[in-house]
Amino acid sequence: MLAIVTGASSGIGRDIAKKLADRNIDLILVSRNEESLSLFAKTLKVKTKIIALDLSNRQNCYKLYDMTKNEKIDILVNNAGFGSCNQFSNSELITDLNMIDLNICAVQILSRLYIKDFIERDSGYILNVASSAGFTAGGPLMATYYATKSYIIKLSLAIYEELRRSNSNIGISVLCPGPVKTKFNNRAGVHFSVKPLLSEDVAKMAVEKLFKKQLVIIPGLLMKLSYVASKILPLKLQLKIAYKIQHKKKT
């Protein structure tokens, strides 16, 4: 089997790639940093190809597909993403637009292009890395990030139902972790407000559940409870709680 993992140079993407390699799955590793991808690739015992591209540029998403469309891709892991913490009115508009390009547009383009090939073969797996941020009412102080992850959850759920109705064998899963110890916080400019999960544990669960074609993957009891809370608490109460959590993470 052959998998493409975006954002494979660090954190959750890197650990998902490792877990796939443990199952003898060959890899195409993508991120912006060629050097860290190639150092990582050297540690793996499967066939790897590295592709350094900035996926927040739409043309690069098409380029990635063009560079790989002749290989039989079995698994697409849309993992590359970042967040940023600020009051919406003070946020850097350019950063937020770049986040939308990476967290949403890249996932949209890559899923749409590869799913056509998967449908033709009636096989393949898509793993979209969203966040538990995506099922809460909204994320004051990280408004754009929460909204991007909400989009990814809704997109994945809808694709699942379309595939199910056409009796497709393709699996689509959406991973919704809470805080995970990676480089994410450095870029987002936040600290942890609760004990983070280990990226390796999250990746292990994600890969196991991906092959079981589990639709929504929520690692950790706390985030499972937070999912339930998002279904029963009034929206305004959820927003107050989310603000407090985000404010604590910022300070």
**Residues within the interface to ligand NAP (CB under 6 A):** 6-13, 31-33, 36, 54-56, 79-83, 102, 129, 131, 177, 179-180, 182-184, 187
Nearer to ligand NAP, 123 or 204 (CB): 204
Q: How far is the CB of 167 from ligand NAP (least distance, A)?
A: 31
Nearer to ligand NAP, 127 or 180 (CB): 180
Nearer to ligand NAP, 56 or 156 (CB): 56
Q: How far is the CB of 110 from ligand NAP (least distance, A)?
A: 11
For the residues of 57-124, what is the DSSP string, one character each?
Answer: SHHHHHHHHHHHTTS---EEEE-------S-GGGS-HHHHHHHHIIIIIHHHHHHHHHHHHHHHHT--
Contact call for residues 4 and 75 (beta carbons, < 8 A): yes
Contact call for residues 182 and 124 (beta carbons, < 8 A): no
Q: How far is the CB of 214 from ligand NAP (least distance, A)?
A: 17
222 is written with which tokens? 């706390």
**Nearest residue to the partner ligand NAP, using Cβ:** 11
Q: Give the span between the Cα atoms of 109 and 78, in whole angstroms.
A: 10
Q: Which of 65, 125, 145, 146 is catalytic?
A: 145
Catalytic: 62?
A: no
Q: Which residue numbers are catalytic?
A: 145
